């Protein structure tokens, strides 16, 4: 086996191992939290973003989604796809955790809101090329899948001119976070070389510096339109479950960010992904 083939095989094996760890984590989270809270999330009329629930009407990152074919990469219990369906979009939810998808199916039966669900790695969806107008990820593939795998997959799935919108932890909050919550007011990680993180609660997350995000997006055929750094509102309270950062911290520095990018039209540039 060549060095390149061996490296590729090793990468596939690592991705499979990481996915198994994340399935275990989210199966547990579903039993403890997300299944119970799915009804509340599906019932919301307003789309909101992140742990501070910033309204989409305030940020305006999605625009009019009516009539759009949408893929949600790492949909979890699929409440975000349900929000989009209420606004006339035609979503497809993709997730690797069976328990999360089972909750989504339960909510479909309860609410009458229906759309396809696919059990798959968000970087290997098996869905057809260029079949969507919008790809979204709200703490799904955006942090739980290697971006050098899922960003090219998002590009493959989108039609030319289609948009990618994803929410993730900010690079800064990751650099200030160690095994003991909450985030510190000083750096604890080096930015150069950051990528794969395993925290004590389990699972594997992926985080890059902004320069690397720009590189992987552009190399996959995207033009970046916006980077929204979210500030906690003045009246925000530290989240009971997501206490990895305090509201006080997040009023001073962004703990979450939303990226908006658009797939270039055919022939407008390289779509060869950069290597990590």
Q: What is the CATH number of the domain that holds 228?
A: 3.40.50.150
Residue 139, domain member (yes or no) = yes
Q: Tens digits of per-residue pLDDT, 91-102?
A: 999 999 999 999
Residue whose C-alpha is closest to residue 133's, from 72, 76, 80: 72
What Rg, from alpha-carbon coordinates, does the chain have? Answer: 18
- Compute CA distances 138 → 53, 175, 187, 201, whole Å: 12, 20, 25, 20
Host domain of residue 200? 3-263
Whether 7 is covered by a domain: the verdict is yes
What share of the chain in percent tops pLDDT 70?
A: 92
* Residue 12: per-residue pLDDT: 66
Tell whether 160 is covered by a domain.
yes
Q: How confident is the model at residue 268 (pLDDT cuts 50, 70, 90)?
A: low
Would residue 111 count as lying in a domain?
yes
Summarised one tens digit per residue, pLDDT across range 225-249 is: 999 999 999 999 998 888 899 999 9
Q: Of 56-70, 140-154, 197-211, 221-235, which gets the smallest average pLDDT?
A: 197-211
- Indicate the pTM of the whole model: 0.92
Q: Compute the average pLDDT of residues 140-146.
A: 98
Q: Is 169 helix (H, G, I), strand (E, B) or coil?
A: strand
Mean pLDDT of the chain: 92
What does the pLDDT read at residue 172? 98
Q: What is the mean pLDDT of residues 142-170?
A: 98
Indicate if the alpha-carbon torsion angle 232, 234, 237, 238 is positive or negative: positive
Asked if the structure places residue 268 within a domain, the reply is: no
Q: Of 15-19, 67-71, 91-95, where does mean pLDDT reach its minimum?
A: 15-19
Residue 230 forms part of a structural domain: yes
Q: Per-residue pLDDT for 272 more than 70?
A: no
Model confidence at 16, in pLDDT bands (50, 70, 90)?
Answer: confident
Tally of structural domains, the chain: 1
Q: Looking at the domain assignment, is residue 229 inside a domain?
A: yes
SS3 252: helix
Q: 219, 227, 222: which is closest to 172 by C-alpha?
A: 227
Q: Is 272 inside a domain boundary?
A: no
């Amino acid at each position: 086996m060549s060095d390149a083939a061996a490296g590729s095989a090793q990468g596939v094996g690592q991705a499979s191992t990481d996915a198994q760890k994340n399935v275990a984590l989210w199966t547990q989270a579903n039993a403890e939290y997300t299944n119970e809270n799915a009804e509340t999330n599906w019932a919301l009329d307003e789309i909101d973003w992140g742990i501070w629930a910033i309204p989409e009407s305030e940020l305006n990152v999605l625009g009019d989604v009516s009539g759009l074919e949408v893929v949600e990469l790492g949909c979890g219990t699929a409440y975000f796809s349900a929000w989009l369906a209420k606004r006339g979009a035609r979503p497809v939810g993709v997730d690797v955790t069976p328990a999360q998808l089972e909750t989504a199916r339960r909510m479909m039966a309860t609410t009458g809101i229906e759309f396809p669900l696919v059990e798959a790695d968000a970087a290997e969806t098996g869905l057809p090329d260029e079949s969507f107008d919008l790809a979204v990820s709200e703490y799904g593939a955006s942090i739980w899948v290697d971006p050098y795998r899922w960003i090219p997959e998002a590009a493959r799935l989108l039609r030319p001119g289609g948009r990618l919108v994803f929410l993730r932890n900010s690079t800064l909050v990751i650099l200030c976070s160690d095994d003991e919550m909450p985030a510190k007011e000083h750096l604890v990680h080096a930015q150069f070389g950051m990528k794969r993180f395993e925290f004590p609660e389990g699972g594997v997350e992926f985080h890059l510096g902004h320069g690397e995000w720009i590189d992987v997006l552009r190399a996959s055929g995207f033009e970046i339109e916006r980077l929204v750094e979210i500030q906690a509102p003045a009246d925000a309270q530290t989240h009971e479950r997501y206490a990895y950062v305090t509201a006080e911290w997040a009023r001073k520095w962004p703990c979450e960010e939303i990226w908006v990018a658009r797939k270039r039209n055919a022939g407008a540039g390289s779509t060869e992904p950069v290597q990590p």
